[in-house]
Amino acid sequence: MLAITFLFFNPTGTTFRSIPNILLRKYFHVLAIVMFAPVIIVRPDLMSLSFGVAISALVLIELIKYGRVPPLSQPLSTYMDAFLDGRDSGIVTLTHIYLLVGCSIPVFLTFFYDSGERSTYLHPLSAFSGLLTIGVGDSMASYVGIKYGKTKWFSTSKSLEGTIGGIVSCFIAGAMLLLCVTNQTTTSIQLIRLLIGSSISGLLEASTNQIDNIVLPILFF
């Protein structure tokens, strides 16, 4: 999956030149869903280990860029600089690490809660908090906001339409995922908790100036 991405997804090419940078970045949010969700369902312990290895690899990549280690530093910088936004500056890029950390924190916390009696407080989708809020909700909020957003939240660039799109998509995706992980024994209480989590995280995404890739998964969890 990653090899296909690097070979065919060239953000500087003419094919993607007309796509807003924020939507290009959301491609990796969708990629996270495709790569991580099946493994979390089948082998969450393996996914937890994989997250640790992947985060270490990304930190190593940033060290290579920061140290300008030849011959990898320049190609890595050229590729990754195409996805920078206002939160990144200088040599070190952090938002992609935030994305991976945001997806992994709920999985780590799920193992922590499962280790004791606290597991009774967990929602069946707790481990998927990062994928639902970042991969689905945040991505759809950006897409709907750019395509159809007209009513702005106060004086921000976020739109009411985008927020609604993010909340609805997060809830629908969560409901579908809930059927998979609970073997169609979904209860109304689980759906209500899912709706509350989707709504609160969606409203926070529209109003926060913090790193939403980390804040939203923790709140949803």
Collapsing DSSP to helix, strand or coil, 152 comes out as strand
pLDDT computed for residue 54 by the predictor: 92
**Which among 138, 137, 54, 142 has a CA at the least distance from the CA of 96?**
54
Q: Where are the alpha helices (DSSP H) in the chain?
A: 2-8, 21-42, 44-66, 73-81, 95-114, 129-130, 139-148, 160-181, 188-207, 212-220
Residues of the chain with pLDDT under 70: 1-21, 82-91, 115-120, 184
CA distance 78 to 12: 9
CA distance 115 to 211: 29
pLDDT computed for residue 117 by the predictor: 59
The answer to whether the CB of 33 falls within 8 A of the CB of 139 is no
The answer to whether the CB of 166 falls within 8 A of the CB of 202 is yes
pLDDT computed for residue 108 by the predictor: 92
Mean pLDDT for the chain? 84
Which residue ranges make up each domain of the chain? Answer: 22-220
Which letter does DSSP use for residue 155 in this model?
T
